[in-house]
Structure 1
Amino acid sequence: MSSQAATPSLLAIVTHTPLWVWPLIVYALYAGWARTRDRIISPARLFALPLILVSLDVFELARKGLSMMTAAGLAFGVVAGVLAGLAAARHTPTQALDDGRLAVKGHRLPFAIVLAIVVVSYVRGAALGIDPSLATNAHFLLANAVLAGFLPALMLARTLGSLPRGYVFG
């Protein structure tokens, strides 16, 4: 007989997910999907989702405390995310309209980023629920720190980089 506990099934993981998580997942996916369509929006709406994502990751990491290793992983992820986001922004420029709003071209990349954030967050939570000792596993913490820096930085840098040259918030 094995002394190791059996890994729960996918069904068990899904059914043990707290109910409050599902509306967040649905909203995140809706918000990401909405970014696949051309739209005219205010600058505040353009930055709402990227800033929420960055804030949630910073809060989560601060809540758990940062070691030197996880801080380095976070910094690496942020730098890589900013570089990737700025490179991606060149392909989806935003146009400033006379009324202060922005004409934004739809693109699948923001949806992919949001989907990745949702999946990473869900898998992280499930993994910690299955094996709480991962909360002290250096490799697990480092991977999470890199992704926590990379994905939101990618989203925010892409958003900033897509603004027209010389754009000033009014």
Structure 2
Amino acid sequence: MNMLQQFASHTPLWVWALLIFLITRGVAAMKPGEVTLGRLAVVPALFTAWGLWSISARYGTSWQAWALWLIGIGAGTGIGWMMLRRAVLTANRATGKLWRSADYSLLPLLLVTFVVKYGFESALAMSPTLAGDVGFRAAYLLLSGGFTGIFIGKYLRYVAAWRRAATDEDLQVTG
């Protein structure tokens, strides 16, 4: 059995289900349309939960590990925020949804994030001692946090557009 077949056969079914889910989310984002903030929160919540679980399982309460992950999240959040700077976002308070222009960056970003996280997790499963290697550990935590942060930053941009619309409506009513 070649290496690729071994990876595929030892990968839990939930990982394949996650990949399919991420692909469907990425394809859906390529079409402009209305979506709720709750639905937009799923991907950042999913990657945050995966990161929390992974780091807790491998590094426990190591403040250095958590600090690296949070630094990655901070940097990624800024990148994610900037990625949507030209997006058209319009809140529809009547439907409780946010209209957003097509996002062609989401599918490739989801796929790259999945491949990177899968690669790191596979490497750690095959060689648990890598968790203690300083360079590997830093790359794993910074990239994991960075990708998670990108999704958080994009979500925060959506929330800001929603809040800005609420403020604009308040100004129109009182003004």
TM normalised by structure 1 equals: 0.83
Amino acid paired to 1:135: A
Amino acid paired to 1:77: G
What is the 5 A alignment of 1:27-106?
Answer: 27-64=21-58, 65-99=60-94, 100-106=96-102
- Identity among equivalent positions (%) equals 25
| Residues 44, 152 of structure 2: 8 Å contact kept | yes
Partner in structure 1 of residue 147 of structure 2: 151
Amino acid paired to 2:52: V
The worse-fitting range, judged by mean Cα deviation, of 60-69 and 137-146 is 60-69
SS in 2 for 1:166: helix
| Residues 80, 150 of structure 1: 8 Å contact kept | yes
| Aligned-residue offset at 1:66 | 4.5
Change (3 A) 1:167 1:46: farther
Gaps in structure 2 of 5+ consecutive residues: 167-175
| Aligned-residue offset at 1:136 | 2.0
| Residues 55, 66 of structure 2: 8 Å contact kept | no
| Residues 77, 149 of structure 2: 8 Å contact kept | yes
Matches of 1:53 and 1:24, distance apart in 2? 11
| Root-mean-square deviation (Å) | 2.0
Which 4+ runs in 1 deviate beyond 4 A?
Answer: none
Q: Which has the higher helix share?
A: 2
What is the 5 A alignment of 1:8-19?
Answer: 9-19=3-13
Q: How many residues align?
A: 161
| Aligned-residue offset at 1:167 | 4.1
Q: Deviations over 1:119-156 (max 9, x none)?
A: 12211222123222212222222111101211111111
The worse-fitting range, judged by mean Cα deviation, of 146-155 and 57-66 is 57-66
Amino acid paired to 1:36: M
Correspondence 1:138 to 2:143 = no
Partner in structure 2 of residue 166 of structure 1: 164
Match of 1:110 among 91, 96, 106: 106
Match of 2:119 among 102, 118, 123: 123
| Aligned-residue offset at 1:39 | 1.8
SS in 2 for 1:76: helix
Gaps in structure 1 of 5+ consecutive residues: 1-7
Change (3 A) 1:69 1:15: same
